[in-house]
Structure 1
Amino acid sequence: MPLFDDMPLQLEDGDLQYLPHWLPAQTADQWLGGLLAETPWEQPQVHLHGRNYPVPRLVAWYGDPQASYGYSGLQHQPLAWTPLLASIRQQVEAQVAAPLNAVLLNLYRDGQDSMGWHSDDEAELGRNPLIASLSLGGTRRFDLRRKGQGRIAHSLDLEHGSLLVMRGTTQHYWQHQVAKTRRHCEPRINLTFRWIA
């Protein structure tokens, strides 16, 4: 489905906007290099059906001191903002015209790193959360499906330097994923900014 710059995807019961060229390429390259070099990546374990499994990507959680966050049975205490992440946050806040006090960084090392179907609907995010998702590095496909349905309804290729913004009731009615792929993929960092109530 082709999308135009600054054109919101017409998502029934949702509000999603994709800005494919949000960052100039040089800035995106600088941010990617800086984050790859300075981030203390972790690979937490999730407990499912009596066994522990490593999360299929590397993660880091940054935020204001009170912005602890729980998902998939994991509780994350925030690292302090670095100068680079504080600058990125300021520019994302200006774009979405809303305050953001935390960010989850995901490093997808190759096509076998992934994020399963989920909604960002944890209680700490409030009733209608705003999620601003910045992509740096290799392009990966982002899928959407209605809750309770198995088939993919929409897919977007999230490009280097792009910003995807989800707001309103999106998380009530929709799930999203970044699926595994056998295609060659360059490393990708995804920064999902949000407000922790």
Structure 2
Amino acid sequence: MESPDLLLDGLLHFYPALLEPEQANALYQQLLHEIPWQQGRVFIYGREHIIPRLQAWHGDPGICYTYSGKTLHADPWTPTLQILCQQLNQLTGLQLNAVLCNLYRDGQDCMGWHADDEQELGENPRILSLSLGAERDFALRRKGSSRQSGILPLASGSLLDMQPGMQRHWQHSLPKRARIRQPRINLTFRTIYPLKPVI
């Protein structure tokens, strides 16, 4: 595994070419047809919105994930996703048990500003994000700020390793890009913890 570029004072480890182009393209084509993509809805400030991308949620049995007023129940692993998760666990020593899959059909599909800081992820989650397909821009800003701090282009086969502490201090987004005509798949592998009962 190549040495990562260390960004955000070490909170973001970036592997620009984790996969060779041929590997990335084969994986992209496989997942494009293997994953049961759906367009979901979320509730924001009490109003329902259609998510501007297609999604799927896979993981170990019983895994659930709640964000923006919507609870996702994990579908069983597809063969390819399960192999990928096992490989990443061996590579990192983590116990990743779920993956959120996003399909951006073109540059009109996007993701707004957010941090992956839901309770199920624990206090300081570490999240691995693999990009396949069209190159898209990953935007960053500090929490509490409305000013964008930087842009990181994510090529096919690249991996972001978001370290503990990043979600506490930073937000990220995937802005629209009208010039992009091709799809992009993003896989964010994570560890989901059982929620503690409220006493």
Unaligned runs of 5+ in 2: 194-199
2: distance between equivalents of 1:140 and 1:44? 21
Displacement of 1:49 in angstroms is 4.5
The alpha-carbon distance between structure 1 residues 128 and 49, as it changes in their structure 2 partners (threshold 3 A), is closer
Q: CA RMSD in A?
A: 1.5
Equivalent in 92, 98, 122 of residue 94 of structure 2: 98
Please tell me whether the aligned partners of residues 133 and 182 of structure 2 are also in contact (alpha carbons under 8 angstroms).
Answer: yes
Once the two structures are overlaid, the 10-residue window that deviates more, 177-186 or 165-174, is 177-186
* Alpha-carbon distance in 1 for matches of 2:178, 2:79: 36
**1:110 aligned residue:** 106
Equivalent in the alignment of 1:62: 58
State the partner residue of 2:185: 189
**What is the match of residue 142 of structure 2?**
146
Match of residue 7 from structure 1:
5
Q: Which runs of 5+ in 1 are unaligned?
A: none
Find 2:77's aligned residue among 75, 81, 96.
81
CA shift digits 1:149-174 (9 cap, x unpaired): 01111210011001001011111110
Q: Once the 2 structures are TM-superposed, how far is the Cα of residue 5 of structure 1 from its aligned partner? A: 5.4
Task: Identify which of 43, 51, 54 aligns with 2:39.
Answer: 43
Equivalent pairs, count: 192
CA distance in 2, matches of 1:175, 1:49: 19
Question: What TM-score do you get using the length of structure 1 for normalisation?
Answer: 0.93
Name the counterpart of 2:160.
164
Give how far 1:62 is off: 0.1
Provide the rounded CA distance (Å) in 2 between the counterparts of 1:56 and 1:111.
10
Give the corresponding residue for 2:13. Answer: 17
CA-to-aligned-CA distance 1:26-47 (integer Å, 9 cap, x gap):
1111111111111111111122
Identity of aligned residues (%): 49
**1:40 aligned counterpart, secondary structure:** coil
The 2-side partners of 1:71 and 1:115 are apart by: 13
Asked whether the 8 Å contact 1:141–1:178 carries over to 2, the reply is: yes
Q: Which amino acid aligns with 1:29?
A: N
Higher mean displacement: 119-128 or 85-94: 85-94
Does the 8 A contact of 1:5 with 1:21 survive in 2? no
Question: Matched residues in 2 for 1:80 and 1:47: separation?
Answer: 25
Query: 1:50 offset after TM fit, Å?
Result: 4.6
Q: 1-side partners of 2:139 and 2:93: how far apart?
A: 26
- Is contact 2:135–2:153 with CA below 8 Å preserved after alignment? yes
AA partner of residue 70 (structure 1): T
Structure 1 49/70 Cα, relative in aligned 2: closer, same or farther at 3 Å?
A: closer
Aligned residue number for residue 118 of structure 2: 122
